[in-house]
Amino acid sequence: MIAFLRRHRGQILTYLGFILFAFVWLLPFYFIVSSSFTPRYEIFQTPPRYFPQNLTLENYPNMMNAIPFWRFYLNSLIFAIGSTVVSTTFSAMAGYGLARLHFPGSNLVFLGLVLSVALPQVALLVPIREIFNTLDLNNTYLGLIILEASITTPFTVWIMVSFVNQIPVEIEEAALIDGATLWQSITRIVVPAMRPALATMLIINFINGWNEFLYPLIFATRNDTKTLSVGLVSLGREAIGSSRPWDLMSAMSVLMIVPVLILILFGQRAIVSGLTRGAVK
Amino acid sequence: MSMSRRSFLKASGSAAALALTPKISGPWVINRRRQNTVVLKIQAFAHDAIRAVLPDFEAATGLTVQLETGVSSGVEHLTEVSTAYAAGDSPWDVVSDSDESGPVLARAGWLMPLDDVIPQETWDDFPQGMKDAFPLWHGFDGAMYRVPHEFAMAYFFYRKDIIGDAPKTWEEMVEKGMEVTDAANGVWATTDGISRGGLMWVYLAYLTSQTNGQIFDLDDGTAMATRLLYDMMHTYKIFPPDAINTNYDQQNQLYMDDKVIFMRQWPFFQSVAEGNTAWYSPDKVAIALPPAGPSGPGSWWGGWGFTVPALAPNPDGAKELIKYITSVEVAPKLAAGQSWFIMPRASILAAMPDNVLVGAMGMYADAGAIKPRPYHPRAAEAQVAVEDALSLYITKQASLQEALATGRNLLAALGE
Amino acid sequence: MTHSVENAPPASPSRRKSFTLSQRRYLAAALLLLPVVALRLFTTLYPFIQTILLSVQKYNPAFPPREYVGAGNFEKLAGDLVFQSSIEFTLIFVFGSTLLQLIFGILVASLLNAKFRLRNLARTINLIPWAIPMVVAALGWRWLFDGTYGWITDLQTRLGVQFSWLIDPVGARVAILIVNVWKSTPFVAISILAGLQGVPEELYEAARVDGANPVQSFWKITLPLIMPLTVTIGMYMMVWQLSVFDLPYAMTSGGPGFSTSVLAYMIQQQVATLNYGYASAISVVMFLVVAVFGAVGLYVFRRVEVQI
């Protein structure tokens, strides 16, 4: 027995570490999910229950009656998908341009783009508010998508440049010598080669957009543009019924987590390998 | 110079917008609502009472009224509406505005003057005492911007079925409180929803009104009030320290779970309690004068009122609605539906002479316990400043003197 | 086609092998870069300049007039206790979070890099806190810490520890740090995982032959090799976490008192109360903090690189 333990010490430690890690990482997640299926009276019980005794689904319809949930859902989807597509497309273009088409000052442009992430978004709110007032962009998907796309571009450009730098330039050169136009070489060779980086950044930018809180909070004050994150916080503050509606809020939280969870389950390899190959070289 | 920058921005921005967006209506580019709806923003607990009076209005005007919820903290409410108005947009046509928000919004030019909208009959329905406060709290520069729908004076609710008589002084409150507190079972003599965002200020201003103090002066009276809260929490342990993270809903819940024996609360609690039919009995929510401090019993009044945003998407519908819900015919119906709407308006007093809260109002008036709301031009910020400073003492981060000095500095920094 | 490109040997340094320059190439570069550059100028550079101009004005739409006040806003900041406390907690929050995230990030990355059967599951689990929206995490944890109904409060009470996290100023700060470390360690971990995968297996083999145990080879081989990467990630996290405001907003509203207010939260609050000039002054302070972080970070980075 002792010999067994000694021989497999490394493996045993790894599994113990895994159990501890999984417990801490998943506990709040379990708490939110289980609350969403717990009836209200059981949530407000002392001492609290760790396993709900009577499971219920009623929190979900109750929550949907309290707020325009599906409208918020649609808004969040439009906001996240729109900003992801804009940001990833623009960044891929710029990434290719910076990595391949050198011109005087291209390093400076690259540095400027990447370092501009250091200007905190919250610190620029007042002027953006004035721009939005002037251009009538408040409460529009267009305005929100521009802002969100903009904050995710520096990181995306960085990843794209690193990635394109790893694609051998010879194939494109060969294609050009064979008479292909620059446009043909981009669509037939470069875009397919960049597919892994594109997939990674589409996933990451979607998650960032889905989770964004500041911009919708400030620039979406109407229900027809408010996103889920803003709706969730206001659900907690507007006290529907007689007390803090954690039953409703947990149900809403679970439905908010579902899309990102699906992306993670199917995209884990893409995220890890994309970041491994891109960012960190 | 700023004009040229503006026009440059506008031109280049619209060019970019045109190039980038297909022509789709809805919130893609610009957001406008249909003109036959009127949106009213008001706290959720008032929705039922409002809904009850709407059919007549909708039948008469052909408009549809849509209700949206609001937050219960006046400071948070200001944050929410000013964010929208500063964006040059109002999602709402009629808004229930707090004392913290109304005066500031009127100053900023974000509200519609109501002098020509509201008939004289409605104004005359208010007692002189309330009218005296209109210029300060409901008007600006000679125009009226807000019609009060609430006479918010906190009452002292107590469990007559448990303690028989209410405590009459601060000393009695502490003495009785220590007898009835049973911390092991979660039973506290008293509590209050005093979370950040102005609610602790509400409670300390209430206690200060029972001294000769002025809370915005952070004077001796304020010091006495603050020390009382501290002592109830930490010395006599009759007031749960958790209260600094709770709001009114949680406070009411505790009271109706039989975990609290007496408390200060706004009039809306009367309806909340009566609505909890399984629990309610008149003896469980008896009303007495607040325990007297050095200057006797006291409670300040203020309250929420209806406004029309200058940018209301449906201004004509908004004018119709605000005129209707503040009229002498409808005000008593709202008051009957939700105690939050009970005011000493002649029409309401005539319609409900036997109402508990109308009686309590009379009792407070006779005892000289009704005090004016402490005024500050930047009410929201000043309240948060005072509460931030005094909470340093309440949470044991500073001495009382330090906390008071901090508060004076914060107020001085606010200016004006 | 795609396949052959992906499997091609690592890129030869492409910079040297660039195409020859031509005017068409300039035009192509300009067209490719224009969208991103325009986006950033419009939402960052122009607002940045405007913020600096606004920071020397008294400007609150509800309290006109709008006027030039010179250093007035900054003098006011110097005496503002909420600001002092916010800057203090911002530094604690940023440095504390980053340090803990790097430590736990290296530990978790080692787990994710270890050879065991559940490795893929572990990598998926790792991403969950990162993907959960911050406001959801903040509100969920707020309940776990709740003084009446919270699991954490209940568990510690059973162990005989009476403590209300969110009422105590220090407790609330610690709670915010815990949530932030939980939320953002996963991202640090996958980034460091990339570095671990780049450490050649032969180095470990050689160390094992020399009789080094796993702990020794971690200190002697792994850590020095991933250090530059770790510093880069640390810098990135510091800059990024400086602007976290949704966590205190949703979890504590800056309370109790103003003890968990950070600069970003304070700016949002000032914007909400329409003190645009004052908010811009705080923003300028934030720019300065970013600049100092950046300078210190670059200095540290150079030193670390030289040492290896």
Q: Which residues of B touch A244 (CB under 8 A)?
A: 247, 249-250
For B249, which of A138, A222, A244 is closest by C-beta distance?
Answer: A244
Angle, CA B165 vertex, CA B163 and CA B167 arms, to 5°:
95
User: Residues 246-275, chain C: which have Cβ within 8 Å of B?
Assistant: 253-259, 269, 272-274
Query: What is the distance between the alpha carbons of residues B150 and B140, in angstroms, rounded to a whole number?
Result: 19
Residue B208, CB half-sphere, CA atoms under 13 Å: how many?
24
Please say whether the beta carbons of C28 and A97 come within 8 A: yes
- pLDDT confidence tier of residue C8, bands split at 50, 70 and 90: very low
End-to-end CA distance of chain B, in Å? 29
* CB–CB contact A222 B186 (8 Å): no
Number of C-beta neighbours around residue B124 at 10 A: 11
* CB–CB contact C127 A271 (8 Å): yes
**Closest approach of chain B CAs to the CA of A6, in angstroms?**
50
* CB–CB contact B389 C81 (8 Å): yes
* CB–CB contact C18 A189 (8 Å): no
**Closest approach of chain C CAs to the CA of A92, in angstroms?**
9
Length of chain A: 281
Answer whether A233 touches C (CB < 8 Å).
yes
Range name among B172-186, C1-15, C186-200 with the lowest pLDDT average: C1-15
Q: Examine residue B282 and say whether the peptide bond preceding it is cis (omega within 30 degrees of 0).
A: no
pLDDT for B7: 56
pLDDT for B34: 60
Answer whether B397 touches C (CB < 8 Å).
yes
Residue C208: inside a domain, yes or no? yes
- Only one residue has tokens 């036997």, namely B354
Closest CA to C25 of B373, A96, A151: A96
Interface pTM, i.e. ipTM: 0.88
pLDDT for B1: 38
For C257, which of B79, B242, B392 is closest by C-beta distance?
Answer: B392
CATH code, domain with C96 = 1.10.3720.10
**Closest approach of chain A CAs to the CA of C247, in angstroms?**
10
* CB–CB contact A140 B84 (8 Å): no
| Residue B371: strand, helix, or coil | strand
* CB–CB contact B245 C256 (8 Å): yes
**What is the count of structural domains for chain C?**
1
- Only one residue has tokens 């200058």, namely B310
Q: Mean of the pLDDT values across residues A121-150?
A: 89
Please say whether the beta carbons of C125 and A221 come within 8 A: no
Q: What is the DSSP letter of C126?
A: H
Q: Which residues of B touch C82 (CB under 8 A)?
A: 388, 410
Q: Which residues of A touch B276 (CB under 8 A)?
A: 242
Q: Examine residue A47 and say whether the peptide bond preceding it is cis (omega within 30 degrees of 0).
A: yes
Please say whether the beta carbons of A204 and A278 come within 8 A: no
Query: What is the distance between the alpha carbons of residues C135 and C150, in angstroms, rounded to a whole number?
Result: 18
**Closest approach of chain A CAs to the CA of C53, in angstroms?**
10
- pLDDT confidence tier of residue C305, bands split at 50, 70 and 90: low
Q: Mean of the pLDDT values across residues A78-85?
A: 96
B199-249: pLDDT as tens digits: 899 999 999 999 989 999 999 999 999 999 999 999 999 999 888 877 787
| Residue C147: strand, helix, or coil | coil
Q: Which residues of C touch A50 (CB under 8 A)?
A: 151
* CB–CB contact A91 C276 (8 Å): no
C230-263: pLDDT as tens digits: 888 888 888 889 989 999 998 888 878 788 999 9
Please say whether the beta carbons of B403 and B390 come within 8 A: yes
Please list the residues that pair with C68 across neighbouring strands. Answer: C57
End-to-end CA distance of chain A, in Å? 45
pLDDT for B168: 94
Closest CA to C157 of A47, B5, A52, A157: A47
pLDDT for A87: 96
Q: Would you state the structure tokens that stand for residue C34, as one six-digit string?
A: 């224009």
Q: Which residues of C touch A232 (CB under 8 A)?
A: 133, 135-136, 139
pLDDT for B6: 53
Closest CA to B87 of C38, A132, C247: A132
Has residue A39 got a pLDDT over 50?
A: yes
How many pairs of residues across A and B have Cβ atoms under 8 Å apart? 96
A200-257: pLDDT as tens digits: 899 999 999 999 999 998 888 788 889 999 999 888 776 543 356 888 899 999 999 9
Query: What is the distance between the alpha carbons of residues C29 and C276, in angstroms, rounded to a whole number?
Result: 39
For C62, which of B16, B83, B104 is closest by C-beta distance?
Answer: B104
- pLDDT confidence tier of residue A186, bands split at 50, 70 and 90: confident
Contacts of residue A50, Cβ cutoff 8 Å, sequence gap at least 6: C151
* CB–CB contact C256 B244 (8 Å): yes
pLDDT beneath 70, residues of chain B: 1-34, 416
Domain assignment of residue C106, given as a range: 89-307
Has residue A119 got a pLDDT over 60?
A: yes
Answer whether A26 touches C (CB < 8 Å).
yes
Q: According to CATH, where is 3.40.190.10 located in chain B?
A: 33-151+303-343, 154-299+374-414
User: Residues 209-228, chain A: which have Cβ within 8 Å of C?
Assistant: 210-211, 213-214, 218, 228
Q: Which residues of C touch B381 (CB under 8 A)?
A: 273
* CB–CB contact B79 C147 (8 Å): no
What Å distances lie between residue A248 and A51, A239, A255, B68, CA to CA?
18, 11, 11, 18
Q: Would you state the structure tokens that stand for residue B101, as one six-digit string?
A: 């928000």
Q: Which residues of A touch C239 (CB under 8 A)?
A: 117-118
Contacts of residue A196, Cβ cutoff 8 Å, sequence gap at least 6: A163, A270, A273, A274, A277, C6
Residue A83 CA, chain-centre distance (Å), reads 11
Residue B90 CA, chain-centre distance (Å), reads 21
Question: What is the layout of strands, in order, in the sheet containing B286-288?
Answer: B262-265, B155-158, B286-288
Q: Would you state the structure tokens that stand for residue C218, as one six-digit string?
A: 């971690």
C215-235: pLDDT as tens digits: 888 888 888 888 888 888 888
Residue C122: inside a domain, yes or no? yes
- pLDDT confidence tier of residue C17, bands split at 50, 70 and 90: very low
pLDDT for C5: 37
Helix residue ranges, H only, C145-241: 151-158, 169-197, 201-209, 214-217, 223-241
Has residue C114 got a pLDDT over 90?
A: no
Has residue A76 got a pLDDT over 80?
A: yes
* CB–CB contact C81 B409 (8 Å): yes
Neighbouring chains to A with at least 3 Cβ pairs closer than 8 Å: B, C
Percent of the residues in chain A that have a pLDDT greater than 90, as a whole number: 36
A219-230: pLDDT as tens digits: 887 888 899 999
Cα Rg, chain C, nearest whole Å: 24
- pLDDT confidence tier of residue C56, bands split at 50, 70 and 90: very high
Please say whether the beta carbons of C144 and C150 come within 8 A: yes
Topology of domain B33-151+303-343, CATH: D-Maltodextrin-Binding Protein; domain 2 (3.40.190)
Question: How is chain A split into domains, by residue range?
Answer: 2-36, 68-277
Query: What is the distance between the alpha carbons of residues C71 and B394, in angstroms, rounded to a whole number?
Result: 34
Q: What is the DSSP letter of C219?
A: I
Exposed (0-12), middle (13-18) or buried (19+): which is B141, by Cβ within 10 Å?
exposed
Q: Average pLDDT over chain C, rounded to whole?
A: 84
Residue B318 CA, chain-centre distance (Å), reads 22
- A68-277 sits in which CATH class? mainly alpha
Contacts of residue A84, Cβ cutoff 8 Å, sequence gap at least 6: A149, A152, A202, A205, A206, A209
Contacts of residue B387, Cβ cutoff 8 Å, sequence gap at least 6: B196, B198, B199, B200, B201, B204
Which helix (H) or strand (E) element contains residue A59? helix A59-66
Please say whether the beta carbons of B99 and B148 come within 8 A: no
**Closest approach of chain C CAs to the CA of B126, in angstroms?**
28
To which CATH superfamily is domain B154-299+374-414 assigned? Periplasmic binding protein-like II (3.40.190.10)
* CB–CB contact C272 B82 (8 Å): yes
Largest CA distance in chain C: 77
Residue C78: inside a domain, yes or no? no
